[in-house]
Structure 1
Amino acid sequence: MPASLSGTWDIISSVNLEGYMKVFISPSLRKIALKLKLGKVIEHQGDQFIIKTTSILRNYTVSFRVGQEFEEFTGGLDNRHSLVKWEGNKLVCEQIGEKKNRGWAHWIEDDKLHLELYCEGEVCKQV
Structure 2
Amino acid sequence: MSKPNYTGTYHMVEQENMDAYLTGLDVNIALRKIVCMLTPTKEITHDPETGAMKIKTVTTFKNFNMDFIIGKEFTEDLGIVDGRTCQTTVDWDGDKLVCVQRGEKEGRGWTHWLEGDKLHLEMRVQGIVAKQVFKKAD
Instruction: Output the TM-score relative to the length of structure 1.
Output: 0.95
User: 3-state DSSP class of the match of 1:56?
Assistant: coil
- Structure 1: how far apart are the matches of 2:113 and 2:33? 28
Percent identity, please: 39
Structure-1 residue corresponding to 2:92: 86
Q: 1:102 Cα shift?
A: 0.5
> Which consecutive residues of structure 1, in runs of 5 or more, have no partner in the other structure?
none
State the shift of 1:2 in Å.
2.6
Shift in Å at residue 10 of structure 1? Answer: 0.5
Instruction: Give the superposition deviation at 1:67.
Output: 1.0
For structure 2, the residue ranges without an aligned partner over 5 or more in a row are 134-138
Alignment partners' CA distance in 2, 1:126 and 1:2: 22
For residue 110 of structure 1, report the CA deviation from its aligned partner: 2.6
Shift of 1:118: 0.4
Aligned to 2:127: 121
Give the counterpart letter for 2:77 in structure 1: F
Structure 1 stretches of 4+ with a deviation exceeding 4 A read none
Q: Which amino acid aligns with 2:103?
A: G
Distance 1:31 1:126 in 2: 16
Alignment match of 1:32 (pick from 34, 44, 52): 34
Q: Give the Å deviation of 1:61.
A: 0.2
Aligned to 1:101: 107
TM-score (norm 2): 0.88
TM superposition shift of 1:29: 0.8
